[in-house]
Structure 1
């Protein structure tokens, strides 16, 4: 069963997980859904014939109600699909659901089946999340947070899920309408679209994503299926609607430069925020401060740390929303999101995605951060640019796209739980082993940094597991484009491949390919 929330200027389904949810909703004053008759909709104060009180940027009025729909919604011959709505008194009425600006071929529910008899690799479903200040904030539609959620169905068992955080200060070629390019921070892509610089005119649904999504596609080599845009007010209201969230703060930190006020409104002030390590209960305001902080001490001022904090908040909110206690707050959560969220997800898409992710263990979700510890570097190396930017080491994005293409090792590979050691034989002293220890570790492997082991040109993948980790060795060899070298015993200490298990010795050729051709013209 699903309870739809108002999303993207129209109403959309939000999963609640079990049939017991009906009883919980009923106990809070809501009735069971009934099927509305086909034909013209009944009179209702919130109905608008052009799309249910559609705001030019996809917002709706806040009407206290909860939505439900049957498995077989009634198609209207000219205007779309009528779906039943439940008001607070339990009466069912109908509303009009307008279509998405994307073509039907990009629906989550189309071409997503995965048969083990056909293939062991299934197409991923990619949803972009954009977080921005919204009205009343400096740079209202500059994306403060950017995250790709990728879901890959598996022929047997639950899908694999990856959350990939993208830093807002990455200097990229933003993809405008007509093949035009606007070089700048990636966080301005969504704002450029809202201003009408993309293929969707300003003021129409999906305008922001019409620039931001193609930019992400160009950088990562993927196809974005859908987007969700959330402003700060929706974020805070959503957390408050479920009664706050519990988050385990990894490290104690203080940020003395958290923005307090809006510079473009003559109120350019800062405040101090502080968080202690350990479990913390956060309301909406505190959760937003935790997620947005950019200048924390103790290592919490990095893009990597900020991305991790945002992922922690999302995980906590998701867990609270689907818990038994959280379901009782669904009406408040629905209304909190309704006025401050934009999306092109349709009801069938939400149902399909929900069906895909059922049974996913939260601990198995991959949390990946693209930042200056891996594929990017800051502007002071090798250039000075007068402002804080991040640039790609490889301006062709080949190495980054290759990594994104391989973020889902097969369950059989991950099931070996192999111990993988990375050794740096590049001779460059740039920490290649540490970089790959972190990157491959984010894919669910148990990895160790073996440090520097001399110098060699070719990269080697050495299997010293006696066949126990053969699939892991083959996967790594395929990733790095080499063959597996099998050894029955470890080499002498201090020589390449002497760490046991599966060892990847990173040569100069791999490091050169990874770094590519750095330059400002990304």
Structure 2
């Protein structure tokens, strides 16, 4: 173990055995439920259970950040989601030897909510990312000097949420509007409140350190088992931080999908349990008031899990240390896309349909003759909020893309056709139509789907909350 606290591995000594153990890296158990709740959109629990917000603790980070911050370029909102490995109170059993040390964070996710509630993206910052860290106020009121080279999670240890915000703003020039922070027990309560989270294991795991014992295949996990799953270091993946982030993102997507389902949000008891689970272990900035949260919820009305994406900030091996990572050449263009996101639903032309993608069901057929084309087009449609299924190959290849519709779906077909560059004329499907469903037959002339309202381009390796949990990434 490196003696430098900036690089310190995290030791779990919940097990009373005295034998030495290798260090843990506490994973992204933290904001999983938070991102799910924040983008749940139609979350009526914000209004129905407002008293739950009295559980939230607050910090005045704006006073620590000062006036020299990036400017807001639009009405998007950026919320920094942080995981705290504090060992205070009931969290002590997850590392008694760390009880008197300052808390650390291995989870730093910038949740970007596009203007108008059209899309959301969770941007993970690896704990091993080496960055410039600006001068910050320390936890004890002193000053943490600026560092030209520091591991990003040391910002939280040194100066808390305000220092992390300042660091991320300095490297991205993205204005961070709010932050949310939760601990171990908050995570367990969230997974219990949604009735468990589905996961898929490529092989059986029996890890004595995390006490995770699960067979190969699909499982629904919650509480201590869920915590062990996201903390496990041995037996899953290659043990790298980036591999664990991918697993974390899939877990977040599955939890978001579960939290956004009607079975959770339409059930008053489940919704109240979820709200209490989040708020009891939650710390935010003073400006993230219940009214602001309710305003966010209203903006996200109609949000589908297909419009919630998870990405890792563009990075690669650190040239100065192969055990760390550094931002690569794609990082600044990506940050610029986030800063300039103007994903506001376009105003329809006079006489045009006003039906949004979230109310359109599309079945995609491949008539292009290109393997996998239907799946790619379906993913593009889903990312813009359409409800999509893949119908397979069309009966025969076609040069021109076609938009066909079943009874009652003519206006939906017009809305879809307007986003296709070739502007196909919608037609009623004569045979095999399904009422209320639009059939898109992708032809050889297919180029791309026009964006329904701008937004951040698709990123390499991104994960959508709607994806099959067993899909390889």
Report the TM range for the smaller structure's normalisation.
0.5 to 0.7
Cα deviation per residue 1:269-318 (whole Å; 9 max; x = unaligned)?
xx45435433x322222222333344454679613333222332344345
Alignment correspondent of 2:254 = 312
Q: Report the number of matched residues.
A: 316
Q: Establish whether residue 252 from structure 1 lines up as the match of residue 202 from structure 2.
A: yes
Query: Using the alignment, how far apart are the partners of 2:58 and 2:321 within structure 1?
Result: 45
CA change 1:343–1:401 in 2 (3 A) is same
RMSD across aligned positions (CA): 5.1
Alignment correspondent of 2:171 = 219
Cα deviation per residue 1:337-390 (whole Å; 9 max; x = unaligned)?
4553211122222122122112212222223233xxxx21124xxx4626x211
- Within-5 A mapping of 1:361-400: 361-370=304-313, 375-379=314-318, 383=319, 385=321, 388-394=323-329, 397-400=331-334
CA change 1:18–1:342 in 2 (3 A) is closer
Q: Establish whether residue 163 from structure 1 lines up as the match of residue 122 from structure 2.
A: yes
Native 8 Å contact 1:292 1:306 kept in 2: no
Instruction: Say which structure, 1 or 2, has more relative contact order (CA 8 Å, 6+ apart).
Output: 2
CA change 1:180–1:320 in 2 (3 A) is farther
Q: Establish whether residue 67 from structure 1 lines up as the match of residue 51 from structure 2.
A: yes
CA change 1:20–1:502 in 2 (3 A) is closer
Native 8 Å contact 2:114 2:341 kept in 1: no
What's the CA shift for 1:150? 1.3
Query: Using the alignment, how far apart are the partners of 2:56 and 2:188 within structure 1?
Result: 29
Query: Using the alignment, how far apart are the partners of 1:133 and 1:321 within structure 2?
Result: 31
Structure with greater Cα Rg: 1
Alignment correspondent of 1:488 = none
CA change 1:321–1:186 in 2 (3 A) is farther
Cα deviation per residue 1:1-28 (whole Å; 9 max; x = unaligned)?
xxxxxxxxxxxxx999449986xx8xxx
Query: Using the alignment, how far apart are the partners of 1:251 and 1:214 within structure 2?
Result: 37
Q: Establish whether residue 352 from structure 1 lines up as the match of residue 286 from structure 2.
A: no
Native 8 Å contact 1:132 1:140 kept in 2: no
- Within-5 A mapping of 1:42-441: 67=51, 100-102=60-62, 122-135=74-87, 136=92, 137=95, 138=98, 141-154=103-116, 158-177=117-136, 180-181=146-147, 183-193=149-159, 208-240=160-192, 242=193, 244-247=195-198, 249-254=199-204, 259-260=209-210, 271-274=211-214, 276-278=216-218, 280-297=219-236, 302=243, 303-317=245-259, 319=261, 322-325=264-267, 327-329=268-270, 333=274, 336-344=277-285, 345-370=288-313, 375-379=314-318, 383=319, 385=321, 388-394=323-329, 397-405=331-339, 411=345
What's the CA shift for 1:225? 0.4
- Give the TM-score normalised by structure 2: 0.52
- Within-5 A mapping of 1:497-516: 501-502=446-447
What's the CA shift for 1:99? 8.0
CA change 1:346–1:409 in 2 (3 A) is closer
Native 8 Å contact 2:132 2:167 kept in 1: yes
Query: Using the alignment, how far apart are the partners of 2:180 and 2:125 within structure 1?
Result: 15
What's the CA shift for 1:188? 2.0
CA change 1:133–1:254 in 2 (3 A) is farther
Native 8 Å contact 1:409 1:443 kept in 2: no
Q: Which runs of 5+ in 2 are unaligned?
A: 1-39, 137-142, 348-355, 369-375, 387-399, 403-415, 422-443, 449-459, 461-473
Query: Using the alignment, how far apart are the partners of 2:282 and 2:276 within structure 1?
Result: 11
Native 8 Å contact 2:76 2:113 kept in 1: yes
CA change 1:253–1:356 in 2 (3 A) is farther
Query: Using the alignment, how far apart are the partners of 1:96 and 1:131 within structure 2?
Result: 15
